[in-house]
Amino acid sequence: MSQVGFPIVVASFLLLRTNGRIEKLKDAITDLKSSIDLLKEELTRR
């Protein structure tokens, strides 16, 4: 049991720990896309 249980616990811990970081990264990428779209609009108006 310990040969299977320990890797499952470690994998679960790492998945839960990185989940918050992935959400922050997703939000940052979305913000970057919005900023790029605004910049494109500004450049096409000139």
Q: Assign 3-class secondary structure to 1-46.
A: CHHHHHHHHHHHHHHHHHHHHHHHHHHHHHHHHHHHHHHHHHHHHC
Sign of CA dihedral 26, 32, 35, 39: negative
User: In this predicted structure, what is the pLDDT of residue 1?
Assistant: 65
Kindly report, residue by residue over 6-46, the tens digit of the pLDDT: 999 999 999 998 988 999 999 999 999 999 999 999 999 98
pTM above threshold 0.75: no
Question: How far is residue 22's CA from residue 28's CA, in Å, rounded to a whole number?
Answer: 10
Count CA atoms closer than 13 A to 46's CA, side-chain side: 4
User: In this predicted structure, what is the pLDDT of residue 20?
Assistant: 86
